[in-house]
Amino acid sequence: MKMSKLVVFTLSTLALTACQQGVNSQDKHTHWGYTGHEAPEHWASLSPKFALCGEGKNQTPINIVNTIDGKLPPLKLDYHPSDVEIVNNGHTIQVDFKHDHNTLQLNGQTYALKQFHFHVPSENLIRGKSFPMEAHFVHADKEGNLAVLGVLYTLSGENQRLAPIWQHLPQKAGEKYTLNTAFDPATLMPKKRDYYRFSGSLTTPPCSEGVSWLVLKHYDTMSQSQVEAFATLMKGHNNRPIQPINARVIVE
Ligand SMILES: [Zn+2]
């Protein structure tokens, strides 16, 4: 009697575990990308969890036009030299922060810089203009609300401030590299920090909405060869096309 109870218990535990693993691995293995049948126009049909990619009304990226003057306060960033890890996640190169000491203040809330990553060419457009590269600095507050700061790049000479990352770009998906010197994300912020603000989403599946978007009006620069080194890793490009603005306003 004891034995059979134990067997039943063990089997049901196993079944539950297997089921949970099944759900999790399903999540992990819903492949998506930027070309062919995994391209952005198909994201919503790849998994029910990606429905917002097709149905969402507040999606990013956008073409920034028809702004309203909202007298936005100066951007409050407090960034410091930090321990980072560079990750090739198969969709972008992402620089993860090990600590939460870099902050953005927005509407009285403190958001911690979690990671930044790159898109080639830019995802957001300004008055129809595309840029060779865009960086996204992803912040989260204590409740998990996201605020993303976009920095656009134009072409010029080599960007030495990006060099510590570009010298260690992990070549294959899943590869990581821990920088052995501190990296200061403040070095990647243009001196003038006027910005556009709008409500949007993640630009990758599951395209979750409720993300506060800030895009700097002033650009940084990088070289053609830096753009090409990144584009080669991304097999050409990793930008989602622009999405309808719908009822949103862009404030500047
Ligand atoms: Zn991004």
CATH number at residue 201: 3.10.200.10
- Give the structural domain span for 161: 47-251
What pLDDT is attached to residue 104?
98
Gap from CA of 21 to ligand 1 centroid (Å): 28
Copy the structure tokens of residue 119. 């898109």
Task: Tell me phi and psi for residue 18, to 5 degrees.
Answer: -60, -40
Gap from CA of 118 to ligand 1 centroid (Å): 6
Residue 24, domain member (yes or no): no
Summarised one tens digit per residue, pLDDT across range 100-110 is: 999 999 999 99
What pLDDT is attached to residue 29?
76
Cα distances from 47 to residues 27, 40, 43, 52, 186, in angstroms, run 9, 13, 7, 10, 37
Gap from CA of 214 to ligand 1 centroid (Å): 12
Residue 31, domain member (yes or no): no
What pLDDT is attached to residue 180?
96
Residue 3, domain member (yes or no): no
Q: Please say if the pLDDT value at position 19 is more than 60.
A: no
Gap from CA of 135 to ligand 1 centroid (Å): 7
DSSP-derived secondary structure for the chain: -HHHHHHHHHHHHHHHHHHHHHHHHHHHT----SSGGGSGGGHHHH-GGGTHHHH-SS-S--EE-SEE---PPPPEEE---B-EEEEE-SS-EEEEESSS--EEEETTEEEEEEEEEEESS-SSEETTB--SEEEEEEEE-TT--EEEEEEEEEE-S--TTTHHHHTT---STT-EEE-SS-B-GGGGS-S---EEEEEEE-SSTT--EEEEEEEESS-EEE-HHHHHHHHHHTTT---PPP---TT--EE-
Residue 219, domain member (yes or no): yes
Residue 126, domain member (yes or no): yes
Q: How far apart are CA 112 and CA 184, in angstroms?
A: 14
More confident residue, 18 or 47: 47
Gap from CA of 113 to ligand 1 centroid (Å): 14
Q: pLDDT tier at 28 (50, 70, 90 boundaries)?
A: low
- Rounded average pLDDT over 81-93: 98
Residue 34, domain member (yes or no): no
Q: How far apart are CA 93 and CA 234, in angstroms?
A: 9
Residue 26, domain member (yes or no): no
- Rounded average pLDDT over 7-27: 37
Summarised one tens digit per residue, pLDDT across range 121-174 is: 999 999 999 999 999 999 999 999 999 999 999 999 999 999 999 999 999 999
Q: How far apart are CA 250 and CA 147, in angstroms?
A: 15
Total number of domains in the chain: 1
Residue 153, domain member (yes or no): yes
DSSP-derived secondary structure for 150-176: EEEEEE-S--TTTHHHHTT---STT-E
By annotation, the residues acting in catalysis are 91
Average pLDDT of the chain is 91
Burial of 221 (0-12, 13-18, 19+ CB in 10 A): middle
Q: Please say if the pLDDT value at position 8 is more than 60.
A: no
- Rounded average pLDDT over 223-237: 97
